[in-house]
Amino acid sequence: MGAKKSGQQSIRNITKNSTGTYQVSLPIDEERKLGWKEGQKVVIKKRGETLVIVDWKE
């Protein structure tokens, strides 16, 4: 199933994998702009009702 676009927003579904972990796919064009690669570590921060994903710095 592909992602839907609504104006400038990219609508994504939350899925649950076989281990019970929830996941969301990222738009490939945004991932490329950030230079992120498969297996890269990121940090998830909660700010109010929003989740923010940032690159993990050692």
Domain count, the chain: 1
Interval 2-48: pLDDT, tens: 666 666 678 899 999 999 999 999 999 999 999 999 999 999 999 99
Tell me how far apart the alpha carbons of residues 38 and 50 are, in angstroms, rounded to a whole number.
24
Left, alpha or beta for 29 (phi > 0: left; psi -120 to 50: alpha)?
alpha
pLDDT at 6 (0 to 100) = 63
Query: In which domain, by residue range, is 26 found?
Result: 4-55
- Global pTM reads 0.68
